[in-house]
Amino acid sequence: MEDLIQLVWKAGIAASVLMLVVLAGQRAGPVLAGIAMTYPFNVGVGSALMVMERSDAFMAGSGLAGFAGAGAVYVFLSGYSVAAARMGGFLRPWLIGIAAWLGLALIALRFEAGWPLAVALAIGGFVLGMAIIRKPPPTPVQPGERGQGSWAASIARAVVGGTTIAAIAVYSKEMGPAISGMALALPTMMSASLWILNRRFGDAFALEAVYRSRWALLSYSSFVLSMALLAEPLGGVQAMVASACIAAATSYLVFRFNRS
């Protein structure tokens, strides 16, 4: 019963955060939507929900696994982008992207990614994403325009994503730092965001958000890297706050870069 109560309130927090991505898309277009989609809400919310219950070493290990997972997230975006440009829609491109993510994640877990492998996977994924993800034709949906789909459907998708994040946080002790860190690197929030953006604003808008997220994903990478480096010397809570600030600064720099 206690786990169920924790799951409910943590899912509510995560789902609320996810809805901010929809509002970003509605108000500011694909540039800000891409940045909001890749800000470490996934791992950030998960870490915030875990940090008071897990040791500093656990949080550092989870951050290292998440950093290795950053490469897998780039692979996910690459697979989704290529498939969506050719097939359109959401489900089939998403399945291809998730299959690509799973392949790289299994490599990291199979070989118990330490710093050398984590760095190699993160850099390799980044290079692949930069090489493969291309700018799509101009999106027909401009900032502030109404997209397709109801808000009820968007909220339902946000709840699905939020519940997944909450479940990882609640059962992270049983999973251990490596699996829980990699699970938080599963592009749950990103998938739900793309689902929502594709439904409300169309294929072109979602692809533009993916293209803009190539650099914006550095925000996620900076968060998990900072957690891996700072959790033990500073403590979990302090490291999480510092990592969130570093990620926010990275997002701001990416926003200014994308606007130029």
**pLDDT 10s digits, 148-194:** 445 666 676 667 767 777 777 666 767 777 777 777 777 777 787 78
Instruction: Return the amino acid letter for 248.
Output: A
Contacts of 6 (CB under 8 A, 6+ apart): 166, 170
Residue 9 lies in a domain: yes
| pLDDT on residue 98 | 92
**Among 33-42, 110-119, 125-134, the range of highest mean pLDDT:** 125-134
pLDDT tens for each residue of 60-72: 888 898 888 888 8
**142 part of a folded domain:** no
What band does 96 get if pLDDT is binned at 50, 70 and 90? very high
Query: What residues contact residue 98 under an 8 Å CB cut-off, 6+ apart?
Result: 76, 187, 191
Each residue's pLDDT tens digit, 191-225: 877 887 787 777 887 887 788 777 778 888 899 89
Q: Residue 251: which of 42, 44, 67, 39 has the closest Cα?
A: 39
The SS3 assignment for 163 reads: helix
16 domain-assigned = yes
Residue 61 counted as domain residue: yes
Q: What amino acid occupies position 26?
A: Q
Q: What is the DSSP letter of 260?
A: -
- Expressed as residue numbers, the domain containing 62 is 2-137+147-259
How far is the C-alpha of 209 from the C-alpha of 74, rounded, in Å? 14
Please state the pTM of the whole predicted model.
0.77
Q: Determine the Cα–Cα distance for residues 178 and 15; give it in Å rounded to an integer.
A: 24
Asked if residue 58 belongs to a domain, the reply is yes
Structural domain total, the chain: 1
